[in-house]
Amino acid sequence: MSVLSGKKILLGISGGIAAYKTANLVRLFIKAGAQVQVVMSPASLHFVTPLTLATLSKKPVYSTFYNEEESTGEWNNHVELGLWADLMLIAPATANTLSKMANGNCDNLLIATYLSAKCPVYFAPAMDLDMYKHPSTLDSFHKLKSFGNIIIPAETGELASGLSGEGRMAEPENIIAFLENDVLEKLPLKGKKILVTAGPTYEAIDPVRFIGNHSSGKMGFDIANQAANKGAEVILISGPTHFKIDNPLINLVRVTSAQEMYDACHTYYDKVDVAIAAAAVADYKPKNVAHQKIKKNDATFTIELAKTKDILASLGTIKKNQFLIGFALETENEIEHAKLKIQKKNLDLIVLNSLNDEGAGFGKSTNKVTFIDKNFQIEPMDLKSKEAVALDIINKIIQHYDA
């Protein structure tokens, strides 16, 4: 999954021949999972049609402040457009548009939207060789960079004039790659490795039966996705679940039993900066596992159980510099039990769930948690979606490294 997935992208198109490439650019943004809103300069309408771009983006295309054909009083709000976007890209950015951007010459909707944008702004220049090297263009580059705008350098190749040289707009695939790399490098958890456990474990009774629990694994998978969205490299160790992963920053390691999860955690633990134990690991397993299916003969059947290894405690024992986060699911004396768990297992933070809270627990799309850190600072949270809870947990990690 691209780091652009879910991003709101404002694509500004100015009037150059390279505008024909924007149809493919919009298609690639959509393929990456982004939302795209196109704003065109009046001159760009000569090179590519709004109908093409609206069809590809699945959004109306704007090029004027209001619809000149209808006297309804409705207008295209450039401020609203500028606030909507997570990032703005102006491609192609002609010499004329760059000059207007640099000097605040606001004579069309595209420039008004640019001046209203609160998000990062990227621009991909496109013009002929001599125009690209002209002092006025270089001055525009300098001014825009001083504003914090980011240039996607032009490429060298055949130009519309027939000359060959620098000034050709970067190819759509290269623009996407540039944006992905730039966004990724600026994410707060870039360079961090995070281990996450998820789901239940199944402890075999015989070849067809097991002891398990109702954990779906959703919480752990949401945590892994949120961590990857913030730039972390994630090792997700999951018991049996139906969830899948399509983010290249997440390495999914599937296990079945508590022992397999224990072994996997210890394989990766010394290589990570953070470990989040969100799995519902079985506390007990059958002491003896039958090699053949047990026949239903007697009226009663007894299974002798043995304790499984405590994965979280074992990680706390060998902890060096890792930020270690555990979960606690309690039904009584929740806060005191969670505090004891922090001490016994050498945790930095615990995420407390109470089955007494409506909307929390296994098999639900929501969760209500309380954060307790190693200094016993308590922070109760509202009932939220598990995705939102996962983001809260990841933000705790970001705060730890920003402190």
Model pLDDT, residue 36 = 98
- Cα separation values, 305 from 202, 296, 313, Å: 14, 20, 20
Outline which parts of the chain fall under CATH 3.40.50.1950: 8-185
**Angle between the N-to-C axes of helices 22-31 and 50-57, in degrees from 0 to 180, rounded to the nearest 10:** 10
pLDDT digits (tens, 9 = 90+) for 157-194: 888 878 788 899 999 999 999 999 999 999 999 999 99
Percent of the chain whose predicted confidence (pLDDT) is above 90:
80
pLDDT at 363 over 70: no
- Whole-angstrom distance, CA of residue 128 vs CA of residue 133: 9
Model pLDDT, residue 276 = 98
Model pLDDT, residue 359 = 62
Model pLDDT, residue 160 = 82
DSSP summary character for residue 65 = S
Q: Is 213 a catalytic residue?
A: yes
pLDDT digits (tens, 9 = 90+) for 122-151: 999 999 989 999 999 999 999 999 999 999
pLDDT at 403 over 90: no
Nearest to 198 by CA among 248, 264, 246: 264
Averaged pLDDT for residues 367-375: 93
Find the helix or strand (DSSP H, E) in which 191 lies.
none
Within 69-154, strands assigned E span 87-93, 121-125, 150-151
Q: Whole-prediction pTM value?
A: 0.82
- Whole-angstrom distance, CA of residue 54 vs CA of residue 22: 12
pLDDT at 42 over 90: yes
Outline which parts of the chain fall under CATH 3.40.50.10300: 193-402
pLDDT at 230 over 80: yes
Looking at every residue in the chain, the average pLDDT score rounds to 92
Percent of the chain whose predicted confidence (pLDDT) is above 70:
95
pLDDT at 343 over 70: yes
Averaged pLDDT for residues 227-233: 94
pLDDT at 70 over 80: no
Model pLDDT, residue 180 = 94
CATH topology for 8-185?
Rossmann fold (3.40.50)
pLDDT at 353 over 90: no
Model pLDDT, residue 374 = 96
Between 69 and 329, whose confidence is greater?
A: 329
pLDDT at 74 over 90: no
Nearest to 99 by CA among 139, 63, 153: 139
pLDDT digits (tens, 9 = 90+) for 253-286: 999 999 999 999 999 999 999 999 999 999 999 9
pLDDT at 204 over 60: yes
Model pLDDT, residue 59 = 95
pLDDT at 362 over 80: no
**Scanning the structure block, which residue is given the tokens 């295309």?**
61
CATH number of 193-402: 3.40.50.10300
Between 396 and 5, whose confidence is greater?
A: 396
Q: Which of 213, 251, 346, 395 is catalytic?
A: 213
Averaged pLDDT for residues 378-394: 94
Averaged pLDDT for residues 194-219: 95
Model pLDDT, residue 161 = 79
pLDDT at 300 over 60: yes
- Whole-angstrom distance, CA of residue 110 vs CA of residue 32: 24
- Whole-angstrom distance, CA of residue 179 vs CA of residue 2: 10
Q: Would you place residue 394 in the very low, low, confident or very high pLDDT band (cuts 50, 70, 90)? A: very high
Model pLDDT, residue 186 = 92
